[in-house]
Chain A
Amino acid sequence: MFKPLLTGLLAAGLAYSSIAQTTFPVNGVYDERPGLYAFTNATIIVDPQTTLQNATLLVRNGRVEAVGTAVNVPASAVVTDLKGKRIYPALIDIDSDYGMPEITRTGGGGGGRGAGGAPQYESNKKGAYYWNQAIQPENEASILFKANPTKADELRKLGFGVVLTHAHDGIARGTGSLVTLADDRENSIVLKPTVTAHYSFSKGTSGQQYPNSMMGVVALLRQAMYDADWYKRAGSKEQANMSLDALNRTRSLPAIFEANDKLGIVRADKIGDEFGIQYIIRSSGDEYQRLDEVKATGASLIVPLNFPQPYDVEDSWDADNVSLAELKHWEMAPMNAGRVAAANIPFALTTAGLRNKADFWANLRKAIENGLSEQKALEALTTIPAKLIHVEDMVGTLQKGQVANFLITSGNLFSADNVIFENWMQGKQYIVANKNAADLRGSWNLTVGSQSNLKLNITGKTPDKPEYQILVDTVKVTPKVAVAGDIISIQVQLDKRRPGTTRLTGYRTGTTIKGDGESPDGKTITWSAVRAGDVPSSTSATSSTAPIASATATTPASNTAATLLYPFVGMGNLKKPQAETVLIRNATVWTNEKDGILANTDVLVEGGKISKIGKSLTAPAGVKVVDGTGKHLTNGIIDEHSHIALLSINEGGQSSSAEVRMSDVINPDDINIYRQLAGGVTTSQLLHGSANAIGGQSAIVKLKWGEPADGMLIKGADGFIKFALGENVKQANYPNPNVLTRFPQSRMGVEQVYMDHFTRAKEYAKGWTDYNKLGAKEKATAIAPRRDIELDALAEILAKKRFITCHSYVQSEINMLLKVADSLGFKVNTFTHILEGYKLADKMAKHGVGGSSFADWWAYKMEVHDAIPYNAALMHHQGVTVSINSDDAEMARRLNQEAAKTVEYGGVPEEDAWKMVTLNPAKLLHLDSKLGSIRAGKDADLVLWNAHPLSIYARPEITMIEGATYFSLKDEDAKRDAVQAERARIIQKMLTAKAGGASTVRPNFRRARMWHCEDVEGMFAEEEGK
């Protein structure tokens, strides 16, 4: 405790500012010094491309005055001879929260509950700010910044000189400042107050309800950007808004977006594209898993070095709780930076994301062992970050004129035995380790009194962290040793049988140490030690860190087996499936066309399309032929109501969230995609939940396992939006009804939500129509309406460009929405669930609305009390287009069986029943021109079943999307074996790492939540049902 305190006091006492602070009065006598330093005979790494041998660095007043091999050293300079040592530019970290206020999070996740558990719907931030407190671009790092000597010291020791710091709080987080890590007044530490603008997907400390989903976050940021644009054009005349003002002021700065994962990188970039901003994106270390898509964004990255710890896999059963994806990520995370570099993606490295900042060097070296070049590493820590944030004229190299931030090291910065001696900042010295300290490592012949059978072995990875051992003959004892300059003192118990400590103090001259001391019985004795040579390698491996080093050293060789999977999940493929030309022969073909069910028929698939249907088709040469004898060939199942492959479901923070898009939260790595392919599903409408009357915009995808989100989306599909009625919308089954304040709380209010929103949307649409009608001249003076992305979506409905899928149960509210739609001139496309559809099937048929229902669900809540399994049949017989959907990751795997129930309940003909999971949902999604039947020219989304597809005994043998085979039953065994083999390989490696002393984490297993449409984040516990 005493030592650091003393150092601190001395530093404060000796402190002076190399950059004059003329505005500050001095209590005492001015102490301004010349600040001229010359470092000679050094190997100077001026920048990653330029290394000078035997060179001189001249520093004046905190700036580099000269660097080179022929620098004249002025007589007034303080000269330091650095023969044998190196000088590097100090490192830069551009994702730091150094000196920022502590962020204290309120509550859990996106709960959005204020004090007392009541939902907080409005901003708690007082003042002329944005309506949502997660948007706080007005926060300025330069104002928030307070130097923190302890944290500065921690980073200095790692070799960092400057950091870009910002408050990591909110979606729009405000500006970042470039600061040095010097212990000085903030006035001189802050090199550049306003450098960058920062964004993220996390609402941070905001307790406000909205947004409580990822797609809500995206929508909020987009709307804020549009609002800022409006504010610039006209809004500032209407209101003062410091947040919007700040968004506009910071528009020209480099913008940094913190993404949570590889998917977030693509998501952030998409937002940037909309507003002409190329974000620099802080990645999370898993981008190697989808590097092509990351590269395609064109974004530069800020890459962390946060590698997972190995799992405790010693118990083979418990180890099953660790997924192959987690095992592989453990193995491959250290390869991330190298792969990013190899892909030519510009990137900086950061200490952010490390559990412990002290792991920085170990992890960086691991990254280098795993394919990152030292040159790229140095660039990523110096010149690239400087360039990314446009401060390359100040920091990043040791060129003339740069801020004199540099490191003095014992050797190659990246070698394991390197020591950073000093970290100079703005021309000021910070000693990390004594560069003049002798390297005592070696084997010394020790004589104590008359005892000469002793050896003192000094080892250690670096000279500044020696480890001591004394050998008494062959018995090892560990002494306590203190070295202060050349004075060395030792305490040791030399004889284990006779307790008592021998204390020795001596003085080193070259390779000899001499002195005297006291034996345990108080007698004065003389002692000496003479260096005999290096420590034999067999005895040097005493350090506990050594085995780790050897374990990691073996990593690169075995990493040749580390392969990617598409997607990065155990059941992923080594290669993405490709479309093939396939002839399926002699199957029973369910055409869903007027031909009906054709026996002994062939189907030819070419170019991703169905090309021919007929008997005895001839196969073009080299075509894959599948024998369909005794089997049934059908279309892929289309699930009209699904919540798989999504990162969140409900944006329930407001009664309308028409602005949110499910396409922003597609999770192409969801294992349920593969499980459903195994159940014959090829297309799904990914819907928003039912937490509010007007939900969000659907994403209609094909289950192309391995493709990115964009590759799954069906191009050119009509836009859909989820609406909802009933108990969820009025929050009828919420656990604590006393705190509910969100309008509406009754079915009466739901009608008014629609009337209100559509009335506003009409006015909004008219505003734009009027504006767009203006001539160029008039437009120049007129003010365009404020773009509102929520009303955009509603206006699209009115313009019949977006279509409603409405969650519904009881007939009264269904009737209500039909009347609202009629009165406002739009149509409801589909009622989903629609469990009382049978009560007003005639009205539905008249309106032209479809019904997408469960086969037999009921009794789980009050509004399904009258649900009957004959519903689908009754609606069908009234001429309603009926589909059977899942709303459930499990049930979607056997939608064929659910369709079969309409045969049992209500006697729907089998062909019609089958259409309820294929052609009918295709119709409801306006995709029946491409999907839903087996007809030449339609997409080859096909399933080959082992039996009658409506039978309980049926299972898909092949599931194909656009001619590419995504599931093949016969390959399942091979896939399982591959998963097992890959698991075993990595587990063996992990066991080695653990045996080598690496700390492990317990194999917790994590499973993504299975979503239903009523799940609101932070609202329900997991067991809350349908």
Chain B
Amino acid sequence: MKKLLIPILTLVTLTSYGQNPAPAKPQTKAIALTGGTVHVGTGQVIPNGIVLFSNGVITNVVDGTTVRLNLNDVEVIDVSGKHVYPGLISPVSTVGLQETGAVRATVDMREIGILNPNIRSLIAYNTDSEIIPTIRNNGVLFSQAVPQGGTISGSSSVMMSDGWNWEDAALKKDDGIWLNWPTYLARDFNFEDFTTVVRKNERRAAAIDALRATFADAKAYAALSNPTPLNLKLESMRGLFTGKQNLYIRADYGKDIMEAVTFAKSVGVPKVVIVGGEEAHRVVTFLKENNVPVILSELHRLPSREDEDVDLPYRMPGILQKAGVLVGLSYADGWWRTRNLPFLAGTAAGFGVTDREEALKMVTSNTAKILGIDNLVGTLEKGKHATLFVSAGDALDMRTNVVEQVFIQGRKVNLDDRHKRLYKTYKDKYENK
């Protein structure tokens, strides 16, 4: 009776009625991936590499042609001809915060109010989102859950793409606070001729004054060890002044970028990240001098202006990289599109970034540095999390990005997802006809 039951259960999990695969079991035995091309994420490539990890942590990465490792009591997985990458990191994301865009009940990413530093995306992060397995299966293994809306939107957290609940999945809680910089130019939609008019924002001076006051209050508050009454908003901003938290400022226009950075420094925030940066190319010297990193909005966008070079958005990472600015890439607007993040790096490589490994850094180690998680993830180096994937070919190109194995902290992840289940169901339907 027992024997009969087990296959039936197995069958059920394979049908399209199944849910997301259960989170993976902890790594119990050391694993070595051998023979593959190892993309370390630092720019280095090891053509015949060995990646050895146990208890969820990378214990060694070596060149298999020259170094012999003792692989006794190690599960050896031959990945010859394949490519091994560190898990890609998707910053500025709403994955886990929204499921079906048009269905309000499934969207938890925007709170009302203008100054919401105390709002935390972490607790709304839905580990059961059906989006997550689909992005994981293209190699995107981390996403930064970011709240939207208001002027100060709240704080983000960096999440792993595997876990029973948000506590499990959190890699770094409350990594930074998000500020939408009051724009120099504001967009107006004209109903007469259906064009968007961009004009100087007349209300911004007042908005910036209000921000300056808030940050001044928060800084003074941070000096108190036992504040009464307790102010949740100011309390949540403490980390900004010690460098424990990033201040992420969304700004695109060149003047906005400069002003935003200057503002942050003047109010005593040491760690600033510019997010968006559609005109970052105009302020490269400023960004370099101030040592400010940039997370670019998706490269697959149209130029901002009619006369702008048609490929300027694609060339942006290369322009910044060559100027020495630390760059990360994001898929900010499309949660479900996040699975295309590796292809943004591919585009960057095709349009001016020095080489593919430099482009890879923009979705791995650079982003880890910017987010303050580079001690844990972002490269395939000893001591880092064994959060990585194996692709049949170049993962930055859709032609060859076929993810065959995923490990998150050494856990072997089931690569099933909603799309594969539906695919299989209907493939079977036609094949069994």
- Bound complex: CA A841 to CA B324 (Å): 51
Known contacts A878-B430, A904-B402, A1004-B199, A678 near B307 by CB under 8 Å:
no
A interface size (C-beta, 8 A): 78
**Inter-subunit contact A839/B336 (CB<8 Å):** no
- Bound complex: CA A87 to CA B60 (Å): 100
Residues of A with C-beta under 8 A to B346: 952-953
Interface core residue of B101, B303, B340 (most chain A CB under 10 Å): B101
Residues of A with C-beta under 8 A to B195: 1006-1009
**Inter-subunit contact B350/A323 (CB<8 Å):** no
Q: Which of A822-830, A856-864, A990-998 contacts B (4 or more CB under 8 A)?
A: A856-864
- Chain B stretch 382-399: residues in CB contact (< 8 A) with chain A: 396-399
Residue from B193, B199, B351, B399 within 8 A of A951 (CB atoms): B399
**Inter-subunit contact B422/A868 (CB<8 Å):** yes
Does A695 make an interface contact (CB < 8 A)? Answer: no
**Inter-subunit contact B402/A890 (CB<8 Å):** no
Contact with B along A708-736 (1 / 0, CB 8 A): 00000000000000000001000011000
**Inter-subunit contact A678/B423 (CB<8 Å):** no
Which residue on chain B has the smallest CB distance to residue A982? B307
Does B100 make an interface contact (CB < 8 A)? Answer: yes
- Chain B stretch 403-433: residues in CB contact (< 8 A) with chain A: 418-420, 422-423, 426-427, 430, 433
- Bound complex: CA A576 to CA B351 (Å): 28
Q: Which of A300-308, A359-367, A619-627, A895-903 contacts B (4 or more CB under 8 A)?
A: A895-903
**Inter-subunit contact B336/A858 (CB<8 Å):** yes
**Inter-subunit contact A900/B254 (CB<8 Å):** no
- Bound complex: CA A1009 to CA B194 (Å): 7
**Inter-subunit contact B350/A841 (CB<8 Å):** no
Known contacts A838-B426, A874-B427, A955-B350, A1007 near B305 by CB under 8 Å:
yes
Residues of A with C-beta under 8 A to B337: 856
- Bound complex: CA A675 to CA B305 (Å): 12
Does B75 make an interface contact (CB < 8 A)? Answer: no
Interface core residue of B199, B346, B419 (most chain A CB under 10 Å): B419
A123 to chain B, nearest CB (A): 22
Known contacts A674-B310, A862-B102, A108 near B336 by CB under 8 Å:
no
B193 to chain A, nearest CB (A): 7
A72 to chain B, nearest CB (A): 60
- Bound complex: CA A901 to CA B303 (Å): 24
Residue from A324, A839, A890 within 8 A of B300 (CB atoms): A890
Does B330 make an interface contact (CB < 8 A)? Answer: no
Does B311 make an interface contact (CB < 8 A)? Answer: yes
Does A877 make an interface contact (CB < 8 A)? Answer: yes
Residue from A648, A859, A1007 within 8 A of B196 (CB atoms): A1007
Residue from B198, B418, B422 within 8 A of A1006 (CB atoms): B198
Known contacts A569-B306, A571-B307, A952 near B397 by CB under 8 Å:
yes
B15 to chain A, nearest CB (A): 15
Residue from B131, B349, B350 within 8 A of A859 (CB atoms): B131
Residues of B with C-beta under 8 A to A1002: 199-200
Does B255 make an interface contact (CB < 8 A)? Answer: yes
Which residue on chain A has the smallest CB distance to residue B433? A842
Which residue on chain A has the smallest CB distance to residue B417? A868
Does A744 make an interface contact (CB < 8 A)? Answer: no
Known contacts A648-B194, A1006-B196, A900 near B398 by CB under 8 Å:
yes
Which residue on chain A has the smallest CB distance to residue B418? A868
**Inter-subunit contact A320/B189 (CB<8 Å):** no
B286 to chain A, nearest CB (A): 13
- Bound complex: CA A965 to CA B302 (Å): 23
Q: Which of A150-158, A747-755, A1017-1025 contacts B (4 or more CB under 8 A)?
A: A1017-1025
Residues of A with C-beta under 8 A to B307: 323-324, 570-571, 979, 983
Residues of B with C-beta under 8 A to A866: 422
Which residue on chain B has the smallest CB distance to residue A202? B192
Residues of A with C-beta under 8 A to B426: 838-839, 841, 874
- Bound complex: CA A842 to CA B336 (Å): 28
Residue from B198, B254, B427 within 8 A of A1004 (CB atoms): B198
Does A950 make an interface contact (CB < 8 A)? Answer: yes
Residues of A with C-beta under 8 A to B305: 320-321, 323, 1005, 1007
Does B401 make an interface contact (CB < 8 A)? Answer: yes
Residues of B with C-beta under 8 A to A569: 306
- Bound complex: CA A951 to CA B282 (Å): 30
Does B339 make an interface contact (CB < 8 A)? Answer: yes
Which residue on chain B has the smallest CB distance to residue A669? B306
**Inter-subunit contact A1022/B101 (CB<8 Å):** no
**Inter-subunit contact A1005/B422 (CB<8 Å):** no
Which residue on chain A has the smallest CB distance to residue B98? A859
**Inter-subunit contact B197/A1004 (CB<8 Å):** yes
Does A1010 make an interface contact (CB < 8 A)? Answer: yes
- Chain A stretch 916-968: residues in CB contact (< 8 A) with chain B: 948, 950-955
Residues of A with C-beta under 8 A to B282: 317
B161 to chain A, nearest CB (A): 16
Interface core residue of B349, B396, B422 (most chain A CB under 10 Å): B422
Does B29 make an interface contact (CB < 8 A)? Answer: no
**Inter-subunit contact A859/B427 (CB<8 Å):** no
- Bound complex: CA A674 to CA B306 (Å): 10
Which residue on chain B has the smallest CB distance to residue A107? B191
Does A976 make an interface contact (CB < 8 A)? Answer: yes
Does B347 make an interface contact (CB < 8 A)? Answer: yes
- Bound complex: CA A901 to CA B343 (Å): 11
Interface core residue of A890, A906, A983, A1018 (most chain B CB under 10 Å): A890
Does A111 make an interface contact (CB < 8 A)? Answer: yes
A73 to chain B, nearest CB (A): 57
- Bound complex: CA A462 to CA B433 (Å): 94
Known contacts A856-B340, A891-B300, A952 near B423 by CB under 8 Å:
no
**Inter-subunit contact B191/A678 (CB<8 Å):** no
- Bound complex: CA A861 to CA B404 (Å): 29
Does A598 make an interface contact (CB < 8 A)? Answer: no
Contact with B along A106-135 (1 / 0, CB 8 A): 001101000000000000000000000000
Known contacts A108-B192, A859-B131, A904-B401, A953 near B350 by CB under 8 Å:
yes
B374 to chain A, nearest CB (A): 26
Residues of B with C-beta under 8 A to A976: 309
- Chain B stretch 59-91: residues in CB contact (< 8 A) with chain A: none
Residues of A with C-beta under 8 A to B401: 904
Does A865 make an interface contact (CB < 8 A)? Answer: yes
Contact with A along B284-312 (1 / 0, CB 8 A): 00000000000000001111011101110
Residues of B with C-beta under 8 A to A954: 350
**Inter-subunit contact A1007/B343 (CB<8 Å):** no
Residues of A with C-beta under 8 A to B430: 841-842, 874, 877-878
Which residue on chain A has the smallest CB distance to residue B189? A1022
Contact with B along A672-687 (1 / 0, CB 8 A): 1011001000000000
**Inter-subunit contact A901/B398 (CB<8 Å):** yes
Contact with A along B323-347 (1 / 0, CB 8 A): 0000000000001110110010011
**Inter-subunit contact A317/B189 (CB<8 Å):** no
Does A279 make an interface contact (CB < 8 A)? Answer: no
Does A460 make an interface contact (CB < 8 A)? Answer: no
- Bound complex: CA A182 to CA B29 (Å): 102
Known contacts A859-B336, A874-B426, A109 near B191 by CB under 8 Å:
yes
Does A441 make an interface contact (CB < 8 A)? Answer: no
Which residue on chain B has the smallest CB distance to residue A315? B255
B395 to chain A, nearest CB (A): 10
Given contacts A108-B192, A897-B398, A1007-B306, 18 further A-B contacts (CB under 8 A): A109-B191, A569-B306, A675-B310, A856-B337, A859-B101, A860-B101, A862-B102, A868-B423, A870-B419, A874-B430, A897-B343, A900-B397, A904-B400, A905-B423, A950-B399, A1009-B196, A1022-B196, A1025-B102
- Residue pairs across A and B with Cβ atoms less than 8 A apart, 23 shown, are A108-B191, A109-B193, A320-B305, A321-B185, A321-B198, A569-B306, A674-B310, A838-B426, A841-B426, A856-B337, A859-B131, A860-B100, A861-B101, A861-B102, A865-B100, A870-B423, A874-B426, A901-B398, A910-B399, A952-B349, A972-B310, A976-B309, A1022-B189
5 shortest A-B CB distances, which residue pairs? A952-B346, A108-B191, A861-B102, A570-B307, A859-B336
